[in-house]
Amino acid sequence: MENKKLNLTMIMDLYELTMANGIFDSDMCETAAYFDMFFRRVPDNGGYAVMAGLEQLIEYMNNLSFTEEDLDYIKSLNLFSNDFIEYLRNFKFSCDVWSVPEGTVIFPHEPIVTVRGPIIQALMLETMLLLTINHQSLIATKSNRICRAAQGRPVMEFGARRAHGYGAAYYGARAAIIGGCSGTSCMLTAKDFGVKASGTMAHSWVQLFDDEYTAFKTYAEKYPDSCMLLVDTYNVLKSGIPNAIKVFDDVLKPLGKRPMGIRIDSGDITYITKKARKMLDDAGYSDCKICVSNSLDEYLIRDMIFQGACVDSYGVGERLITASSEAVFGGVYKLSAIEKGGEIIPKIKISENAAKITLPGVKIPWRLYDRATGKAIADVITLGDEKIANDEPYEIFDPDHTWKRKIVTDFVARKLQVKIFEKGKQIYKSPHVSEIAKYCAEQVDSLWDEVTRFENPHTYYVDLSEKLWDLRHSLLNKLRIKE
Largest CA distance in the chain: 88
DSSP state string for 6-65: PPGGG-S-HHHHHHHHHHHTSTTTT-EEEEEEE-SS-GGG-S-EE---HHHHHHHHHT--
On the question of pLDDT at 278 being above 70, the answer is yes
Find the DSSP H helices in 54-202: 54-62, 68-76, 82-89, 119-124, 126-149, 166-179, 187-193
On the question of pLDDT at 2 being above 50, the answer is no
Cβ contacts of 214 within 8 Å, gap of 6 or more: none
Strands (E), 80-119: 96-99, 105-106, 113-118
Pairing of strands 155-157, 183-184: parallel
**314 in a structural domain:** no
Rounded CA-CA distance 48/447 in Å is: 9
Mean pLDDT, residues 8-21 = 96
HSE, CB side, 13 Å, CA atoms: give it for residue 142: 31
User: How many domains is the chain partitioned into structurally?
Assistant: 2
On the question of pLDDT at 198 being above 50, the answer is yes
Query: Is residue 13 domain-shared with residue 123, that is, in the same domain?
Result: yes
On the question of pLDDT at 1 being above 60, the answer is no
Q: What share of the chain is helix, strand, coil (3-state, %, to 5)?
A: 40, 20, 40
Query: Is residue 33 domain-shared with residue 120, that is, in the same domain?
Result: yes
Percent of the chain surpassing pLDDT 70: 98
Pairing of strands 105-106, 332-340: unpaired
**166 in a structural domain:** no
Mean pLDDT, residues 319-332 = 95
At 5 the pLDDT is: 67
Summary mean pLDDT of the chain = 95
Query: Is residue 382 domain-shared with residue 457, that is, in the same domain?
Result: yes
C-alpha pair distances (Å), 91 with each of 65, 66, 71, 86, 124: 6, 7, 11, 8, 11
Confidence category of residue 353, pLDDT binned at 50, 70, 90? confident
Query: Is residue 105 domain-shared with residue 25, that is, in the same domain?
Result: yes
Confidence category of residue 354, pLDDT binned at 50, 70, 90? confident
DSSP state string for 310-334: --SEEEE-HHHHTTTT-S----EEE
**443 in a structural domain:** yes
Cβ contacts of 419 within 8 Å, gap of 6 or more: 96, 97, 98, 427, 428
Q: Give per-residue pLDDT as tens, 423-471.
A: 999 999 999 999 999 999 999 999 999 999 999 999 999 999 999 999 9
**186 in a structural domain:** no
- Asked if residues 343 and 185 have their Cβ atoms less than 8 Å apart, the reply is no
pTM of the model: 0.95
Domain harbouring 234, CATH code? 3.20.20.70
Q: Give per-residue pLDDT as tens, 204-217.
A: 999 999 999 999 99
Rounded CA-CA distance 346/339 in Å is: 9
Q: Give per-residue pLDDT as tens, 377-413.
A: 999 999 999 999 998 999 999 998 899 999 999 999 9
Rounded CA-CA distance 141/144 in Å is: 5
Pairing of strands 376-383, 363-370: antiparallel
| Domain extent at residue 72 | 8-139+352-479
Treating both helix axes as pointing N-terminal to C-terminal, what angle do 54-62 and 126-149 enclose, rounded to 10 degrees? Answer: 160
Query: Is residue 388 domain-shared with residue 467, that is, in the same domain?
Result: yes
For residue 247, the surrounding DSSP H or E stretch is helix 241-247
At 481 the pLDDT is: 55
Mean pLDDT, residues 179-193 = 97
Instruction: Choose the final residue of a domain: 281, 309, 337.
Output: 309
Strand-pairing partners, residue 105, are 50
- Asked if residues 111 and 365 have their Cβ atoms less than 8 Å apart, the reply is yes
Instruction: Indicate the burial class of 84 (C-beta count within 10 angstroms; 0-12, 13-18, 19 or more).
Output: buried
Query: Is residue 455 domain-shared with residue 389, that is, in the same domain?
Result: yes
Instruction: Choose the final residue of a domain: 282, 309, 336.
Output: 309
At 456 the pLDDT is: 95
Domain harbouring 13, CATH code? 3.20.140.10
On the question of pLDDT at 483 being above 80, the answer is no
At 351 the pLDDT is: 86
Query: Is residue 224 domain-shared with residue 276, that is, in the same domain?
Result: yes
DSSP state string for 345-383: EE-----SSGGGPPPPSSEEEEEEEETTT--EEEEEEEE
Q: Which of 3-7, 41-45, 169-173, 258-262 has the lowest mean pLDDT?
A: 3-7
Classified as helix, coil or strand, 106 is strand
Query: Is residue 363 domain-shared with residue 457, that is, in the same domain?
Result: yes
Instruction: Choose the final residue of a domain: 247, 282, 309.
Output: 309
Query: Is residue 208 domain-shared with residue 270, that is, in the same domain?
Result: yes
**244 in a structural domain:** yes
Percent of the chain surpassing pLDDT 90: 92
- Asked if residues 80 and 116 have their Cβ atoms less than 8 Å apart, the reply is no
Query: Is residue 81 domain-shared with residue 28, that is, in the same domain?
Result: yes
At 6 the pLDDT is: 79
